[in-house]
Amino acid sequence: MTSLPGMPGRAGAPRPDVGNLLRRALVLVVGLFLVALGIALITRADLGTSAISAPPYVLSLWGSWTFGQYTFAMLVVLVAFQMVLLRRRYQPIQVLQLAAGLVFSAFIDLAMWITPLLTPDIYVMQLVQLALGIVVLGIGVACQVVPRLTYLPGDGTVVALVLATGVRFSRMKILFDSLLVAIAIALSFVFWGELRGVREGTVAAAVLVGAVVGWVMPGVKRLAGRVGALPPAG
């Protein structure tokens, strides 16, 4: 797995700018919260949830843990999978994914806690909230990517699979997201004998979030540059 820009490297390399690291970390945390909020908005619209959240959301409908707790449990499994898959090529610094995953999982529960009234029962309003959630989620992903500090374990797993197989990232991302949705569907039928937690909103998020990220990324980069939260050049 490639090293993370801006992190300490070889002996004798320039020491990182602590202020820059803190600002980038702040942008990352903001991004994680926006991703969680976007997922909560999509989920509260009752039109499904995002692909990465589909298995833990289905489990939260069945079990006694919260949405965020099941999310973190899945992220731990994904990091362990990366370690097994890459073995000696796994870089210990990638354990930072767990820290990002823990914060993200806590934000999932926080976002669900602050959005209980956002449960429209008119389909048109559900679609409006779905669209809003997709936009917020896309902005959050851009904020998460721009600082280039670490990955969430879902994206880290896609990177690990790319390194192990040589498949292009874009194709592997589609395959991985499709697998997560398939797992969520299977869990739904195992627990209830019918489809729950996966609907048209899941498909819409999978298709449209990437487009939103591409649309907002230049603006997020400009804003991060103004506050000194971009990784050092080179």
Tell me the per-residue pLDDT of 60-93, one tens digit each, with 9 for 90 and over: 999 999 999 999 999 999 999 999 999 999 888 8
What is the per-residue pLDDT for 198?
93
Output the six-digit token pair for 162: 């790319």
**Most confident of the ranges 128-132, 143-147, 172-176, 222-226:** 128-132
The CA-based dihedral angle spanning residues 22, 26, 29, 35, taken in that order and rounded to the nearest 10 degrees? -140
Q: Angle at CA 137, nearest 5°, toward 168 and 192?
A: 85
What is the per-residue pLDDT for 4?
44
Handedness of CA 234, 88, 12, 95 (dihedral sign): positive
By CB neighbour count within 10 A (0-12 exposed, 13-18 middle, 19+ buried), where does 190 fall?
exposed
What is the per-residue pLDDT for 15?
67
What is the per-residue pLDDT for 3?
45
Average pLDDT over residues 173-189: 92
| CA distance linking residue 203 with residue 233, whole number of Å | 37
φ, ψ of residue 15 to 5 degrees: the values are -70, 140
Q: Does the pLDDT of residue 12 top 80, yes or no?
A: no
Least confident of 7-11, 150-154, 173-177, 223-227: 7-11
What is the per-residue pLDDT for 9?
45
Judge whether 223 and 146 are in contact, CB under 8 Å: no
By CB neighbour count within 10 A (0-12 exposed, 13-18 middle, 19+ buried), where does 166 fall?
exposed
Average pLDDT over residues 24-37: 95
Q: Does the pLDDT of residue 13 top 60, yes or no?
A: no
* pTM of the predicted model as reported, rounded to 2 decimal places: 0.88
| CA distance linking residue 35 with residue 45, whole number of Å | 16
pLDDT band of 1, cuts 50, 70, 90:
low
